Structure 1
Amino acid sequence: MTSSTDQIIRRKLSDEVLARLERMIATGELKPGDELPSEGLLMERFGVGRATIREAMRSLGKIGLVSISRGERAKVLQLTANSIFRQVDVTARVMLSQSAGALEHLKSARIFFERGMAREATSKTTVDDITDLKEILHHQRGALGDSGKFISADRQFHTRIAQISRNPLFVAVSEAMVSWVMAYHTDMLVWPEKERFTLVEHERILDRLAAKDEEGADAEMLKHLERSWSLYTW
């Protein structure tokens, strides 16, 4: 007797073409910057019609593997960690706007992640890293009263800590999380007294990083995020 798992599911032709084009990119047959073959050549190669090729190409564009401009051949994009997260940015923001539970999950995930970044930074930080972080805090201090510049410096501070890991995936995750978090209720973050709290907490985190104090950096980051999270309410 044949079970359901033995059955062969017939895919749409466009899905099969999409899979083959993805494979061509993954194997390096098509490299970043390369133009894809013309529709005519792809139709001949895969034995399908123009509509199938166009549907597969649209799917490639949606997932961020190629750029498609009117009147030009599609080009393979250079993928980076940041470009991958940009592909889900709009979807993530919609999900967060629709669900209080999703925002709470993001809060928990960011606390976990930022504490890990603080610990990672204590073992890898250099004099140049500390100098950069001090410069960011100097600009943030000078931005008191200017909500846009203050929030920008706040993002830079957390991103710069992630950069100490020398891991581009960590940096991309940090930038994405900060962006999603700050899309909500940021007006509550720019009251003067709360700005000063943030500055003091950042200075304490920086002190622990400079001292290469893993436990201390973790603890200061946790206090900072728990205090700031209380400002984000649904």
Structure 2
Amino acid sequence: MSDALKISRRKLSDDVFDRLYAMLLNGDYTPGDHLPSERELMELFGVGRPAIREAMQSLERLGLVAIQHGQRPRVLAPTAEGLLSQIELTAMHMLSSSPQSLEHLKEARTFFELGMVARAARTAEEADIVRLEELVERQRHELNRDAGAFIKADMAFHQAIAETTGNPIFIAVSRAMLDWLAHFHTSMLHWKGNEHITLEEHGRILEAIRRHDEAGAVAEMRAHLERARALYVSEQT
């Protein structure tokens, strides 16, 4: 018989994982609940301790349970940020090995940023405006002083715009894309006058949001991102 047709035997831990995962999906255990002890699970599934521990470690890696020594595993509430953190290493490998993937990420970032700044212009409250003003001032303070701090304030400005949406998925996706792109943002970019341009562009975006000018905010953000896209380069090039 061809090896391709043979059915491989599954590990016991895979079967245990499937059953525990089904329990979580069915709502048998909800966030905050503690799962049964190792011994109870061994008796329930008729398997040994190694299978239980391997399955539990798989659940922990997925961010579905928290394991602390001497305590029963606790069910966690899945979050968008936790989900994206699971694929970070794979994403970074894909981006570093495929220039096309990096271009796709830039395009996706533009798509999200334009939608988020439009909502920010519609719904931003005074506290949101104050937060954005503080971040622009932080960037201005770091101008020609600390390139790393300037970049962090830059990213925080865009993250703050995402946070005005109140949508945890938008917020998590924005943070993940900014973090991934940061790996391709070389220090050379911040010694060629780009800091002043960035500050001016952020100021115009902020002013449009302050006026609740949705079209203006989108136009300013588009111009800002189109200029910035050319500055994100692979460290391998």
Q: Which TM-score applies when normalising by structure 1?
A: 0.88
- Aligned-CA RMSD value: 2.2
Q: Distance in 2 between matches of 1:204 and 1:19?
A: 52
Identity rate of aligned residues, in percent?
Answer: 51
Structure 1 residues 116 and 38: CA distance shift in structure 2, 3 A: same
User: Which residue of the partner structure matches residue 88 of structure 1?
Assistant: 87
Cross-structure match for 2:143: 144
Deviation, structure 1 residue 33: 4.0
Pairwise CA distance, 1:122: 1.4
Measured after TM superposition, the shift of residue 117 of structure 1 is: 0.6
**Residue in structure 2 matched with residue 59 of structure 1 by the alignment:** 58
Question: Structure 1 residue runs of 4+, over 6 Å off?
Answer: none
The unaligned stretches of length 5 or more in structure 2 are: 1-6
In the TM superposition, residue 179 of structure 1 has moved relative to its aligned partner by 0.4
Aligned length: 227
Work out the CA distance in 2 between the residues paired with 1:233 and 1:184: 5
* Amino acid corresponding to residue 208 of structure 2 in structure 1: R
Work out the CA distance in 2 between the residues paired with 1:117 and 1:153: 18
Q: Distance in 1 between matches of 2:190 and 2:71?
A: 46
Alpha-carbon distance, 1:98 to partner? 1.4
Are 1:190 and 2:190 an aligned pair? yes
1:38 aligns with 2:34: no
Query: Counterpart of 1:128?
Result: 127
* In 2: Cα distance, 1:87 partner to 1:139 partner: 31
Contact 1:17–1:46 (CA under 8 A) maintained in structure 2: yes
Instruction: Give the 3-state SS of the residue equivalent to 2:193 in structure 1.
Output: helix
- Secondary structure of 1:190's partner? helix
1:12 Cα deviation (Å)? 4.9
Task: Give, as a single letter, the amino acid of the residue that structure 1 aligns with 2:155.
Answer: R
Q: State the alpha-carbon separation in 2 of the partners of residues 144 and 34 from structure 1.
A: 49
Q: Work out the CA distance in 1 between the residues paired with 2:122 and 2:77.
A: 31
After TM superposition, the structure 1 = structure 2 runs for residues 1-234 of structure 1, keeping only pairs within 5 Å, are 12-69=11-68, 72-145=71-144, 146-191=146-191, 193-234=193-234
